[in-house]
Each structure stands twice: as structure tokens, then as C-alpha cells.
Structure 1
Amino acid sequence: MSAAVRQIVQEHGRLAVDIATLADDASLYEAGMSSHASVNVMLALEDAFDVEFPDDMLKRSVFESVAAISSALQQLEAQAA
């Protein structure tokens, strides 16, 4: 899942650095992702994983890092199962 998240962030996150240089727990916001770009990342994640982020997950901390995004997606997939 982490590789898929990284690919989506690379395509939609508009980072100032190459995502390959970032650890899974590195802050995507510190790497240059704007709030607007995080919305684009969220929409791409919803399309790619066929999920919808509920309102209580629409906060900065959920999209802070590859690890946080992966964790949120795992929670959503567990709820759907």
C-alpha cells in the first residue's frame, strides 16, 4: 500500500523534493505539499482505493505522511470489510 500511496503523492502532492528521498513518517507538508495539493491527493486516493474519507478524517494529520495516509486507508478498508 505504501508504494501506491507514494505514487499518488508524487503525482498530486506537488512536493518540493523527490518523494523517494522521504521516509514513510516524514512530513509531506514540510516537504512542500500545500493544503490545496493535499485535497488533490485525497481525491486521487479515493479513486485509486475506491474509498471515501469521512468528515472526521479530513484533517491535516491524516495526510501528514505516507505512513499516516496508509494507516487511514487501512482503517477505511477494515471498516468496509
Structure 2
Amino acid sequence: MNITQAIRDILGSNEAFAGKADQLSEDDSLFDMGLDSFGSVQLMLALEERFSVEFPDALLNRKSFATIRAIRDAVSTLVRQEAA
């Protein structure tokens, strides 16, 4: 499973990133590129569904959803915890 590509696919379904999710670098600020609070909640819910994880309160912050790299790191940690 390629977590980064799955994140890009999910981002691509967000109106702000339609057609340009694959062009983002892993460190581009998603909030600077158009992600808003509603979009970040939609993103979180889609990630939870796609990876069968649940974001704990400690990860429900702007930093966790700021970049593709930050999201990948958070999701990877959650997936590993689920597998343990």
C-alpha cells in the first residue's frame, strides 16, 4: 500500500486540490494551497475510512494536516499501532 499516493488520491477529491494533488510536493503547505478547516475534517474522515484508523485527539491539530509528509507520518504511525 502506498500511503502517499492514497493521500494524494483523497486530496484530489477535495475541491481545492482537484486536478493538482499529484503536483504537490510532500512539503507544500496544504493550508496555503486552499485547505480549510472543513476540508481538513473531510480529509481526516476519508483517511480514517481508507486506512481503518482513528485519529486520537493529540493528532487533531493543524500541524498533523499541514503537508502530505505530516499526514503520511501520522497515518503511518496509526497504521503501525493498529497492526500491533
TM-score by length of 2: 0.88
Paired residue total? 81
List alignment gaps of at least 5 residues for structure 1.
Answer: none
- Structure 1 runs of 4+ aligned residues shifted over 2 Å read 12-17
1:54-74 per-position Cα deviation (integer Å, ceiling 9, x unaligned): 000000000001111010011
Q: How does 1:1-80 map to 2 (within 5 A)?
A: 1-12=3-14, 14-15=16-17, 18-80=20-82
Counterpart of 1:35, as a letter, is: S
Q: Counterpart of 2:17 in 1: which secondary structure? A: coil
CA RMSD of aligned residues (A): 1.6
Q: Which structure 2 residue ranges, 5 or more long, are not aligned?
A: none
Cα distance in 2 for residues equivalent to 1:24 and 1:13: 19
Preserved contact between residue 27 and residue 69 of structure 2 (Cα < 8 Å): yes
Deviation of 1:79 after TM superposition, in Å, equals 1.5
SS at match of 1:14: helix
Q: TM-score, normalised by structure 1?
A: 0.91
